Amino acid sequence: MIGKKVTAALNLQMNREFYNARLYLSMAVYFHSINMEGAAGWMESQSKEETGHAMRLYKHLQERGARILLAAVEAPPTKWDSPLAAFEAAYEHECKVTREFDEHLELARAEKDNATISFLQWFVNEQVEEEASVDAVVRKIKMIGDHKGGLFMLDRALSERKAKD
Ligand SMILES: [Fe+2]
Ligand SMILES: [Fe+2]
């Protein structure tokens, strides 16, 4: 039996993950608009993964017999000043998501919900990877600076990313 507080927190996070999917899709649109197809593809893969996160939460709620509530999803931003600004925004966003999962884990512990504690562990590990992969791109863009050839090569490297769930 899953408690009311944990149910509310996981429903909130499921809806946030759907927002995250749309945020990265919006970044993909931005990268297409500046002809960085590789970065756009990278963001599309990121978006798919976020939908996968939402569906993990959906499945957990479903399996626990909780009531699932799909909320209205806020529209994401549509413009960033530069590729660096977009990836920096993505990095800050992932740090925020990490804190969100830490809070859910604290709640699950307080509620002595062992199934949710165990379930959330996957996300805690995933967030380490999420922060690291975005930070790696931020560092590369900073290194490249205004060098157009460098940005072109980075875009090509980013196109090689494949989405996992
Ligand atoms: Fe996520
Ligand atoms: Fe993420």
Going from the Cα of 146 to the center of ligand 1, the distance in angstroms, rounded, reads 31
CB 9 within 8 A of CB 120: no
| Chain centre to alpha carbon of residue 160 | 19
Per-residue pLDDT tens over the stretch 28-63: 999 999 999 999 999 999 999 999 999 999 999 999
How does pLDDT run across 61-112, given as a tens digit for each residue?
Answer: 999 999 999 999 899 999 999 999 999 999 999 999 999 999 999 999 999 9
Supply the pLDDT for residue 60: 98
CA 93 to centroid of ligand 2, rounded, Å: 8
pLDDT of 163 above 90: no
Distance 115 CA to ligand 2 centre (A): 22
Nearest-Å Rg of the Cα atoms of the chain is 17
| Ligand found nearest the CA of 27 | 2
Residues with CB under 5 A from ligand 2 (ion): 130
Could you give the CA distance from residue 37 to residue 29 in angstroms, rounded to a whole number? 10
Q: Looking at the CA of 91, which ligand is closest?
A: 2
- CA 90–ligand 2 middle distance (angstroms): 8
pLDDT confidence of residue 131: 97
